Chain A
Amino acid sequence: MDDTIAKKSRDPRKRVLDFLAGFHLASTLIVLLGILTWLGTLEQVDMGLFEVKKKYFSASTFWVVPKYNGYTIPLILPNAYWVGMLFFLNLSLGTIFKARWRPATMGILIAHFGILFLLLGAFVTQHFSKRGNMAITEGETSDVAQDYFDHVIEVTELVDGKPAKINVVETKYLSDLDPEDTRLFRMKNLPFDLKVQEYRVNARPVSTAEKPAQPGSAVVDGYFLDPREPAVDAERNLGGCRLTVLDKKGETLGAYLLSIASFYPVTVRVEEKMYAIQIAKSSWKMPFKVHLTKFTHEFHPGTMRPKRFESEIERIEEEQTEPVLIKMNEPMRREGFTFFQASWGPQDGPPGRKLFSVFEVVRNPADKWPEYSLYIVAAGLLLQFSMKLIQFIIQQTKRNG
């Protein structure tokens, strides 16, 4: 018989608890998570991973209307993020209040704690981890990682042609903008303000000589932002916007098109000072520097199948320099950051050309939590199922005489 079911109560509070901690809710949520995972997998073919993650598995929406093969499926489902949250609640309440704490169910309880810890790790990762990449050419040093997706507007004061102070309009103030929106940014450290219009996640600056401007795209100096569909591989998106620089009285000082596709920032002279303005992928500084000594790549002989690629680096912290080898499956972990060997280039360069190595840089407070939760879950399930198996074998042995 079932060991963990508590009897039904007539007390309304108890009944709410029974519902929230119950098997029926658990079963429903698990099936919902399964269906959402399935639909999210299929939809990746059309939408790409990044968009699917946003649609199905992020906290930003409550509901999902799935699509398959371009067709909308007439179904409104809750977002997997919130289903997961409810499942966490259900599992916590079920484990604490409903499960019977006794030796026979110890394995299940341990496994449940492991799963709770795993889900908590997923939550921490989703909300508190940061991901980016760092590309370094052999012989060079860097301490800046760049985000894959997030755009920022950087305003850099130039002193003697060199960057001095950098002011940043952060991603969170751009990401909710639609192309038809206008947002004014009061820059308290600068003698001017910025008006952002036509912010697009993916667009290219195109000359009107090449193509007539699209409706809704203003022409600036003979160019306009030609909108593109968000790329299936979201890191390929090249964001852009129309920027108007205003003095503090609101008078226009100049209008510009900013695009990640541009090689150079626009420059503005205000009150005898020069400023470079650009839209860029957001970047963050490391607490240490990384110097790429050598990058090595090898293919399986006679094929284009990669056999190994690895980077010999020096990690420079204040006065201390330490050599480290980063390779596939063997990242470098240091001060909360993890560096993974991700890519390299140029892949079609002539022999002897200097190579660059790309590291995926991750800061995740829950980096090791899945591993710890695995030990807990595995121990719990092994304990529980072994007990059941032994019981079954004993019964069968008795039965078989």
Chain B
Amino acid sequence: MADQSTSQVGRWVAFALTLIVIGCLFLLAVRTLLPEKSLVKVSTYEPWSEEVLEAARGIPLQDGGRVKPLETYAGYKMLGMRGDRLVKILGKDGEKVKITPTGWMLDALFRPEVAIKLPTFRIDNSDVVELIGMKPKAKRDRYTYDEVAVAREELFRLGGEYEKLQQGEVELDAVQKQTLALARGVREFESFLTYFSFARAGIELRGAGEEGASQYQRTSTVMATAEVIQQVLQEARDSGTAPSAHVQDILQQITDHSNAAKFGPSFLPPADAEQKEWATPGAKIWNVMTRESADPAGAVADIAGMENLVANATRPEGFGEKLMTWREGMEGRAEARGEGEWVGLELSYNKGNWFFRALFMAFLPAALCVVLSWVSPRSMWGRVMAGLVWAGTLSGLVMLVIGITQRSIVMQRPPVGNLYDTIPFITAAAMIVVLIVELITRRRLALLLAPLVGFAGLVMARLYEFGDPNDPMDPLLAVLRSNYWLTIHVLTITFGYGAGLVAAFFGHIYVFLRLFKLDGGDKALRRFLTRVTYGCICFTLLLSLVGTVLGGIWANDSWGRFWGWDPKENGALMIVLWTLFILHARMGGILREWGMNLCAIFLAVIVTFSWWHVNLLGVGLHSYGFSDSKKFAVFLFYGIEGVVLLFGIGYMLVERLGKKSGLSKAAVPGDGVKVEG
């Protein structure tokens, strides 16, 4: 009776623990969705029509070395500045208005006077706000450009200082890093605000109008006279005199417009097929005026086209159509160059929002069903819940696979090429391994694990993306541009990570079952679990060993050495060595049930070291930038696993001591039984 009640208590403790884990993960995930505490009121805000947004989303542009839709570009820019992908404000009559990244980008480009009132900058650290002389707002509240502009000068001064320090390889502290990031963000936002100033302001011809008033000309019109202006300048040079003030004024305005539009999105595909870089309007203006343009007439037409767009942007009717016509023109030019082929698919990927949907619409409900199934696992209720878990898990996995596949096609490479890519892939790989185990064993144990794996993996992916807002679909470095090696080495090794984590999951289940006495003393269940763990470790060894050697062969082809003791290589080797140790120690009788499962848990620590930690060392050929929050997460994980291991080892020792002293109760059979394999 005492054991039964202990088991019941254990059951509810485990129930509560699982709920807490899901709750924590859920909170981490929704933290990325939380709006600011107080919404900014922009009573003049007029939302863009769906027609305009639809036309704008798919505008192709070149950024980060590839052609992508404006929607993707705007999404990452907004994420970088705001920390999320949705602006919420109070519009006319205090109504809540939601602004998507595309709408926000259109505001910045076409309506800067409105965009500067939108809450655009997230500054988490109040020290940064105070450092640049602003008044801190509540946590999570965003700042408008108008608000930041007051401190612009000081911000840029400090930004420049920190940039120099960083170039001198000085490690910046958190406040310095965030100040620098803010300065860069503000500067970039300014490049959007001034992007179309050439079209809005035109060229002022002072005194050319009646009674000395100014006349205005389109920038494109003045560009068309570039040859004449250059002749005038040449004549002035030849005669040794300065050009007239009138010409100098025009040139100054042209230069200002060109500089203001030199940065920001590169919308204009070049006519010359040999020319790889798409142009910004600023570059076009500059090249025409300096007569460096290979196609000045085309450049003038491009600028005139943009001027027409800007002129129509303030008129609600017809802008969507005009924008779509302009977009089609750019799409046609991109297509003629053999570029932009996957923009449509990327839009579909963005619209699908597969990882978000899988996270919140499939894995989260399925994970909750896992918890609910615990209420009465062997009853009809339990079976219904299991059915729902299957449904949620499979639908989530399908979404995950669709997302990974679409990304892969858009990137035109295998699904894993950078650290972000590894997360959804390893999540899917781990889930597949877990579901295969379930199909083989049909004990509903692995099944219950699957949605938790998917949920945890996609929360991690989301946090990573929000913490490092750079487009992970941008092309890879020269050395990584080998689809053959990316396929056979990277996929194998990452699959190995997944298998290692699954082994660790089963190790956790074993330890928790024992700690909370949930197995009811069932020796067969313990043996079964240990055999599953053992199988997963074998699978991890196979994948990690083959993957590591393949990596060495690749390194031998690209860097001239099979093995270089690079941290990433060492991490992979550590996984191989640890799994080899487990298998040999088991064969040598050193490890039995407890040992095998505790070692499997430690395997998660080694996988984490190899997958994440080596990247924060800042040395080697696989080093990536790493934020403090990710470092914290890695060490937190070590800490949690350390606690689990301590409890596991403690419990195991207590049990053994109890056995030796003859005080053991009936609840510990199965320990010390050698696992057959």
List chain A residues, Cβ under 8 A from B546: 374, 377-378, 381
Which of A174-182, A244-252, A304-312 lies at the interface with chain B? A304-312
List chain A residues, Cβ under 8 A from B560: 131, 331, 338, 340, 342, 360-362
Verify if B674 is at the interface (C-beta below 8 Å from A): yes
14 pairs, A vs B, C-beta closer than 8 Å: A31-B581, A34-B581, A37-B573, A40-B570, A307-B475, A308-B481, A328-B481, A328-B482, A340-B559, A340-B560, A362-B560, A382-B542, A392-B535, A396-B442
Verify if A266 is at the interface (C-beta below 8 Å from B): no
Within 8 Å by CB of A27, from B477, B531, B584, B619, lies B584
Write the nearest CB–CB distance from A21 to chain B, whole angstroms: 11
Closest to A46 in B: B619
List chain B residues, Cβ under 8 A from A2: 587, 589, 674
Question: Is B617 in contact with A41, judged by CB distance below 8 angstroms?
Answer: yes
Question: Is A40 in contact with B581, judged by CB distance below 8 angstroms?
Answer: no
Write the nearest CB–CB distance from B443 to chain A, whole angstroms: 9
What is the CA–CA distance of A125 and B278 in the complex, to the nearest angstrom?
47
What is the CA–CA distance of A360 and B566 in the complex, to the nearest angstrom?
17
Write the nearest CB–CB distance from A87 to chain B, whole angstroms: 10
Within 8 Å by CB of B549, from A24, A27, A370, lies A370
Within 8 Å by CB of B558, from A1, A4, A340, A374, lies A340
Given known A328-B478, A385-B538, contact A34–B565 (CB-CB < 8 A)? no
- Given contact pairs A122-B563, A388-B538, a sample of 13 additional A-B residue pairs in the complex whose CB atoms are under 8 Å apart: A23-B588, A24-B588, A34-B577, A40-B565, A44-B620, A49-B565, A125-B562, A298-B276, A299-B65, A302-B266, A303-B65, A329-B485, A396-B440
Question: Is A30 in contact with B588, judged by CB distance below 8 angstroms?
Answer: no
Write the nearest CB–CB distance from A304 to chain B, whole angstroms: 10
List chain A residues, Cβ under 8 A from B538: 381, 385, 388
List chain B residues, Cβ under 8 A from A392: 440, 531, 535
Chain A 332-351: CB-based contact to B (< 8 A → 1; otherwise 0): 00000010101000000000
List chain A residues, Cβ under 8 A from B531: 392
What is the CA–CA distance of A342 and B561 in the complex, to the nearest angstrom?
12
What is the CA–CA distance of A251 and B451 in the complex, to the nearest angstrom?
84
What is the CA–CA distance of A302 and B29 in the complex, to the nearest angstrom?
34
Closest to A44 in B: B619
Verify if B209 is at the interface (C-beta below 8 Å from A): no
Question: Is B556 in contact with A41, judged by CB distance below 8 angstroms?
Answer: no
Verify if A356 is at the interface (C-beta below 8 Å from B): no
Within 8 Å by CB of B570, from A38, A131, A301, A328, lies A38
Question: Is B617 in contact with A44, judged by CB distance below 8 angstroms?
Answer: yes
Which residues of B are interface residues toward A (Cβ below 8 A)? 62-66, 266, 276-278, 440-442, 474-475, 477-479, 481-482, 485, 531, 535, 538-539, 541-542, 545-546, 549-550, 552-554, 556-567, 570-571, 573-574, 577-578, 580-581, 584-585, 587-590, 609, 614, 617-620, 674, 676-677
Question: Is B65 in contact with A307, judged by CB distance below 8 angstroms?
Answer: yes
A-B contact count (CB 8 A): 180
List chain B residues, Cβ under 8 A from A329: 479, 481-482, 485, 554, 557-558
Verify if A59 is at the interface (C-beta below 8 Å from B): no
List chain B residues, Cβ under 8 A from A340: 557-560
Question: Is B558 in contact with A328, judged by CB distance below 8 angstroms?
Answer: yes
Closest to B276 in A: A301
Question: Is B563 in contact with A307, judged by CB distance below 8 angstroms?
Answer: no
Question: Is B542 in contact with A385, judged by CB distance below 8 angstroms?
Answer: yes
Closest to B275 in A: A301
Closest to B545 in A: A377
List chain A residues, Cβ under 8 A from B539: 385
List chain B residues, Cβ under 8 A from A360: 559-560
